[in-house]
Amino acid sequence: MLITLYVVIEYNINKTDTEAIMNMIYMDNAATTRMRPQVYEFMLQYMKDRYANPSSGYSFAQGVRDDINWAREKLALSINADIDEIIMTSGGTESDNWALKMMADYFKKGHIITTKIEHHAILRTCEFLEKHGFSITYLNVDEFGMIKLDELKRSIRKDTFLISIMAANNEVGTLQPIEKIGQIALEKNIIFHTDAVQAYMHIPIDVKKMNISMMSTSAHKLNGPKGTGFLYVKKNLPLAPYIHGGMQENNMRAGTENVAGICGMAKAVQIAENTMQIRYETERRMQKYMISRVLNEIPFSRLNGHPVNRLSNNMNFSFQFADGATLLVMLDRQGICVSAGSACSTNEAGPSHVLKAIGLPDELAYSTLRFTINETITKNEIDYTINCLKNDIDALRKNSTKYIRYVT
Ligand code: PLP
């Protein structure tokens, strides 16, 4: 009897969840993406049948080793790298930590250049390195979130050994001039790392052409599994292990490989590569449509980030006189998932460091929402979202003494 009741409750909870998920409008693809069915079906074989430990000696394990090599080759080809330049990691955070700490460990002292708008995986690592005696320059960005190449050049010192600048910003979507930064780093013989977690598979990346020495990626941002990613490290850089133990990843990252994750990531990359152009075009069209409707129809709204040089899936708006956190909850009740700033920083106190860096006053930073779409978004879903937004913002402003004072 108890068991039956339990099963019924369990079933109902799952059913309700599934129905709610099917009906919701998901606009938080910068936080994470939905895994493609082809990806998880592909991954299943590594949990069901092909479960051998790749380090074992028999042919069953050799087959799994071959699959990891297949994945490594796929990933390498996707950025024009060589196979032995790809190290599997647990995602963006580990890759960022590893890249910076590995170089710091090699150079022992000196100067690193980064920006004020990096993800916390970079900023917190820089703070850690500062405590260990390294000197860090945090470059400013302009009102659109772009670094200034002149400032970068001026910041280079004799002891600068590393430049770490993200390819695309996770909050406002601004794309940095990666190729030009790579050229400057090359001319000055400085290692150039880029956090490409948001950019990889959204824009084409060629590490050779762009003079990138190290690059971080994460599979769950491209319809792949969570907890997996890779770090590209150019040949001949002073590579050192981050996790010590067994001999996996050519002695560089110990621990039994996350085979399902690694192969799932490669499968996701394969699909993402084949669909990059069409995804870009669809997202751009929807992005243009939504930006123009929001800016034209919602008074006191502004688009943050670069008007042109931005990710095709990102829209970051401030709605003056409306609190972003409250709007997020109101939209959630209407079945729409968005983010107030960056998902990774929703537990952070204070306004977003990125919005501060582009010069937004606190009041506007607190009234900001990030919408990150994908290629499956429909015009109807955008229309519904804008209608909800308009109603919710109206309701909030009606109760805002600041707004009432401003407009009367
Ligand atoms: N870097 C950027 C730019 C990101 O947007 C994120 C996640 O949002 C990360 C790093 C961290 O990646 P992961 O979630 O794979 O650790």
Residue nearest to atom 10 of ligand 1 (CA): 92
CA–CA dist 61, 45 (Å, integer): 14
Q: Is 37 left (phi over 0), alpha (psi -120 to 50) or beta?
A: alpha
What is the token pair recorded at 327?
A: 């709007």
- Find out whether the beta carbon of 173 lies less than 6 Å from any atom of ligand 1: no
pLDDT digits (tens, 9 = 90+) for 334-387: 999 999 964 444 556 689 999 999 999 999 999 999 999 999 999 999 999 999
Write out pLDDT tens, residues 263-279.
Answer: 999 999 999 999 999 99
Marked catalytic residue, from 126, 263, 337, 344: 344
Atom of ligand 1 nearest to the CA of 94: 16
Distance 171 CA to ligand 1 centre (A): 11
pLDDT per residue as tens digits for the range 172-188: 999 999 999 999 999 99
pLDDT, residue 21, reads 73
Q: How far is the CA of 31 from the centre of ligand 1 (A)?
A: 8
Task: Determine the distance separating the centroid of ligand 1 and the alpha carbon of 197, expressed in angstroms.
Answer: 6
Model pLDDT, residue 350: 82
CA nearest 71: which of 48, 46, 93? 46
Q: Locate 201 and state its tokens.
A: 């598979």
Q: What is the predicted pLDDT for the residue at 14?
A: 57
Average pLDDT per consecutive 10 residues, the chain (408 residues; last block may be shorter): 44 60 91 97 97 97 98 98 98 98 97 98 98 98 98 98 98 98 98 98 98 98 98 95 92 95 98 98 98 98 98 98 96 97 57 96 96 97 98 96 91
Cβ contact 42:170 at 8 Å: no
CA of 366 to the centre of ligand 1 (A): 22
User: Residue 13 is encoded by which pair of tokens?
Assistant: 């909870």
The enclosing H or E element of 310 equals: none
DSSP string, 206-253: -TTTTT-SEEE--GGGTTS-TT-EEEEE-TTS----SB-SS-HHHHTB
pTM: 0.94
Q: Is the CB of 197 under 6 A from ligand 1?
A: yes
State which ligand 1 atom lies nearest to the alpha carbon of 344. Answer: 8
Shortest-distance Cα residue to atom 14 of ligand 1: 92
Is there an atom of ligand 1 within 6 Å of 218 CB? yes
> Active-site residue 337, yes or no?
no
Which atom of ligand 1 is least distant from the CA of 343? 8
